[in-house]
Each structure stands twice: as C-alpha cells, then as structure tokens.
Amino acid sequence: MEREYARFGKAEYARLAKISIGHLYNLRASAAYRKRLAVYESTRPTVVTIGERRRPEPRGQAGYLRVDTVHQGDWDGAKGVYHINAVDAVTQWQVVGCVSRISEAFLQPVLEAILHQFPFRILGFHSDNGSEYINHTVARLLDKLLIEFTKSRANHSQDNALVEGKNGAIIRKHIGYGHIAGEHAERLQRFYTAHLNPYLNFHRPCGFATVSQDARGKRQRKYKVEDYATPYEKLKSMPEAASHLKENMSFARLDQQASSMSDTECAKTMATAKATLLRRVKTESPIPPRFH
C-alpha cells in the first residue's frame, strides 16, 4: 500500500500507506476481522451407541471391572507393546495382560484370558472412550458373557481413576517407561499370568479407604492400618463371599494357591522372573529399552 501511494501516486492509498505492520496484525487478530473473513464449522460429534456413558455402581459387589490401556512407547516408528490393566472396583483384584497391537483381532483373545483369570463372576466392564474397547467385537464378547458395558463420561476424570492409579503403581513401577517391541508381548503375557498377577492378588496388600462425611457434607477418605489387605483377603471378608465365585472355583482351591508361598517368597520369585524377562528383552531388542 505504501508503494502504491509513494511510487505510483495513487491517492486512495494515502491513509493506508501510513498504517504500521504491527497495527495490521492487531487488526487481523480482532474479532471483527475473524468474523468477516474466517468461516468456522464446529466439529460434529459422532454418536456411538456402544456402551452406556455413566459411572458403574458396584453396590459393594465384586465383579465390576475398571479397564485401561498402557502403551509402552514408540521408537523410530515402531510401536511398543500395550498393557491391558483390569481392576475390580471393590476388591482391587487386578489382572494385567499384554498385546503387540491394539487392534480388535489381537485384543479379543487377551481380554478373554483376562476375564478368565478372575475367580468371581464379572458383572460390569468399564473403560474410557478409546476405540480399542468401544467397538462391536468387544461389545459382542461382553454381551455374550452377560457383562454390563459402561464407558467414562466427559469431564468426569474420576470415573476411571482406580485403574489409572494402578497403571503407575504397578505397570510403570515394574516394567518402566522404555520402549519394548511388540514381538515380546507373548512373553510379557506369560509373565503376568504366571508371576505378576498371583503376586498382586495373593501377596500385595492394598489400601481400602474408610469414607466419611464432614459437617458440610464433603466426603473424606482415611486409610487406616487395619484396612490394608490383599485383594484375596478382601474378597473373603465380603458378606456371602462364596456366592460371588465362579462355578468351577472354591475358596479351598484359592487358599491352597495363597498359602503355597509367603509374601516375600512370591515377591522374590516374581522379581527373578521379571529380571530374566527384561534381560532377554534387552538382549534381543535392537533398541536399548530403559527399565527401572
């Protein structure tokens, strides 16, 4: 505009020629400018009918699972393994699985194996809104098993807080953050089934909060020493606990598994198996993983 006025003598550009470049940017950032020259179209959400968007209500019953996925990182375009973490909302019984890919074909058999490892009947399955769970394959599996399917609500970060806390306290603590190639998923799955899951449920105490309300109606959580117990001990302490078990399961069988090793012996066995697994992963991986 300055050249039009100064060099070519066009008087109609006299006023515009004196406007600074900074002021032009200010004008372009104004709401009036954007309203006139920019066209915005809001995102149209896709309605997904799979799963009910609400917080599950266990009402003190075992069998209502919170499920989440933990990705073991990418490296140079290569996807790492995915950990599938499932935690019962009442007893904190936890089962971890592993898949090389998050597609439905890889996820379904691992989900079936995870559900099979719980000694009690599964009544509810709650996940976030990730496509690995919100799909027709998982919906058909849960429908076949008569399991209630719910998913997290928008702006309610506490809906899946239990399993997200276990992601860090269990999976990240034991496996770390470094990349593990997808080819090692089956080995991790065997380690979880044979060593980590039994240790978590029979030998690792969890804190169970005592919830109270103050004068203003605000809920307060206190973790008393006497309220710490393993998930198996919590399951046995429930009223009519035997009625929650699957048909082919009994407390006599579970007692035998729980007393086969002490807590320390089980922890040492699990740690030895984990160290062997991670050394093998590190040796066979072209990318050096970082473990804790």
Residue 44, pLDDT score? 66
Q: 11 lies in which domain range?
A: 2-37
Interstrand relation of 82-88 and 94-99 (parallel, antiparallel or unpaired): antiparallel
Contacts of 43 (CB under 8 A, 6+ apart): none
Q: Is there a single domain that holds both residue 12 and residue 150?
A: no
Residue 14, pLDDT score? 87
Give this prediction's pTM.
Answer: 0.79
Provide the 3-class DSSP secondary structure of residue 32: helix
Block mean pLDDT (10 aa), the chain, length 292: 82 85 84 74 67 86 94 86 96 96 88 96 92 90 92 83 93 92 94 97 93 82 90 94 93 95 95 95 68 49
CA distance 234 to 62: 10
Q: Is there a single domain that holds both residue 167 and residue 257?
A: yes
CB 189 within 8 A of CB 110: yes
Closest CA to 119 of 237, 198, 204: 198
Local structure of residue 193 (DSSP, 8 states): I
Count of structural domains within the chain? 2
Q: Is there a single domain that holds both residue 165 and residue 31?
A: no
Q: Is there a single domain that holds both residue 58 and residue 30?
A: no
CB 58 within 8 A of CB 124: yes
CB 91 within 8 A of CB 238: yes
Contacts of 69 (CB under 8 A, 6+ apart): 82, 83, 84, 85, 102, 130, 132
Q: Is there a single domain that holds both residue 184 and residue 125?
A: yes
CB 258 within 8 A of CB 232: yes
Residue 51, pLDDT score? 79
Q: Is there a single domain that holds both residue 120 and residue 18?
A: no
